[in-house]
């Protein structure tokens, strides 16, 4: 099973005998600090037009718990996450397709959470909503209750200590923009820089101009150039475990399993006792 699906493939699946559950996870990171700048409202975007049958999922409230010492988007309470997924119609025996407004980060967060908690068949719409050529709906959707029960995997999740260890013993990729990795700017967190030993790997370089993933072979070449050889474990972090999930998805497309440090830089940098590296080099 592939981790992504094209709009053409999705249209075919929706017309088939076992259509997937559709989750709309439109979300946008905002670093705007100017007064009067409205926050992005994914629910309003959903109401204005969504894939027919899709259910809106709120990343900040249903795919994360409240911001705090473990970062801006820490893991959600798993009982609450399971209840939210069941309300959205998610069942273990039915495929799920997730999409967002095109960036892919929020959809990847939902994909990662569902996969990590045991759902066997989840894919992301490659290119998001802009790739869809069919009609959109403004009708509200109330699906039948699903039966999904989260069962977290033993692997695939890193905490701060495990991320630091992986940077020394394996490959830890930093999915943020290069200038944040180097410590030149930091628009959100207390300090710029990166986890010592981490390799800069902006997730934006995993996609083409249309927002769709590069071919799997190209992704394999990119990650190989970054030190991903298949001989050592791979982990990813970002600012708060959202764009990092997109990099884990890109690695999956390339055929490389990877773990996610969900707390990411927003957790790491909040503790002044943790070391911070700056500049273009990992160390």
H or E segment at 199? strand 199-200
Looking from the CA of 14 toward its CB, the CA atoms found within 13 Å total 17
Answer yes or no: do 98 and 181 share one domain: no
CATH of residue 179:
3.40.250.10
Structural domain contains residue 208 = yes
Residue 25: both structure tokens together: 């996870």
Answer yes or no: do 81 and 179 share one domain: no
What integer pLDDT is reported at residue 40 of this predicted model? 80
User: How many structural domains are present in the chain?
Assistant: 2
Q: How far apart are CA 62 and CA 41, in angstroms?
A: 15
Answer yes or no: do 39 and 83 share one domain: yes
Q: How far apart are CA 268 and CA 237, in angstroms?
A: 10
Answer yes or no: do 127 and 205 share one domain: no
Residue among 202, 192, 186 at smallest CA distance from 243 = 202
Q: How far apart are CA 122 and CA 113, in angstroms?
A: 10
Answer yes or no: do 202 and 89 share one domain: no
Structural domain contains residue 216 = yes
Question: Domain residues for 206?
Answer: 157-268
Residue 193 makes CB contacts below 8 A (sequence gap 6+) with 181, 182, 183, 186, 269, 276, 277, 278
State the catalytic residue, choosing from 238, 245, 248, 260.
238
Answer yes or no: do 100 and 181 share one domain: no
Answer yes or no: do 9 and 125 share one domain: yes
pLDDT, tens digit, for every residue of 68-105? 999 999 999 999 999 999 999 999 999 999 999 999 99
Q: Check pLDDT > 60 for residue 35.
A: no
Structural domain contains residue 37 = yes
Give the pTM. Answer: 0.95
Q: How far apart are CA 199 and CA 192, in angstroms?
A: 15
17 is catalytic: no
Structural domain contains residue 150 = no
pLDDT, tens digit, for every residue of 160-200? 999 999 999 999 999 999 999 999 999 999 999 999 999 99
Residue found under tokens 């905002």: 30
46-72 average pLDDT score: 96
> Under a CB-based contact definition with an 8 Å cutoff, are residues 167 and 198 in contact?
yes
Residue 175: both structure tokens together: 């999915």
């Amino acid at each position: 099973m592939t981790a992504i699906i094209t709009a053409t493939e999705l249209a075919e699946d929706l017309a088939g005998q076992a259509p997937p559950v559709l989750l709309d996870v439109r979300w946008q990171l905002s670093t705007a600090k100017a007064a009067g700048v409205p926050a992005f409202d994914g629910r309003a975007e959903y109401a204005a037009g969504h894939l027919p049958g899709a259910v809106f999922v709120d990343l900040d409230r249903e795919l994360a718990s409240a911001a705090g010492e473990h970062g801006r988007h820490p893991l959600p309470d798993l009982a609450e996450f399971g209840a939210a997924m069941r309300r959205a119609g998610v069942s273990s025996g039915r495929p799920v397709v997730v999409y967002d407004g095109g960036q892919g980060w929020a959809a990847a967060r939902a994909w990662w959470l569902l996969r990590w908690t045991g759902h066997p068949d989840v894919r992301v719409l490659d290119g998001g909503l802009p790739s869809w050529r069919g009609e959109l709906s403004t009708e509200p959707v109330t699906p039948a209750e699903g039966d999904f029960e989260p069962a977290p995997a033993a692997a695939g999740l890193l905490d701060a200590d495990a991320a630091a260890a992986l940077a020394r013993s394996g490959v830890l990729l930093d999915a943020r923009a290069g200038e944040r990795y180097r410590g030149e700017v930091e628009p959100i967190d207390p300090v710029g820089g990166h986890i010592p030993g981490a390799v800069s790997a902006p997730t934006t370089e995993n996609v083409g101009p249309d927002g769709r993933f590069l071919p799997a072979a190209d992704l394999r070449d990119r990650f190989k150039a970054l030190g991903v050889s298949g001989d050592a474990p791979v982990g990813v972090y970002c600012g708060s475990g959202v764009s990092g999930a997109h990099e884990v998805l890109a690695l999956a497309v390339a055929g490389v399993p990877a773990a996610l440090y969900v707390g990411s830089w927003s957790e790491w940098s909040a503790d002044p006792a943790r070391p911070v590296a700056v500049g273009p080099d990992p160390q």
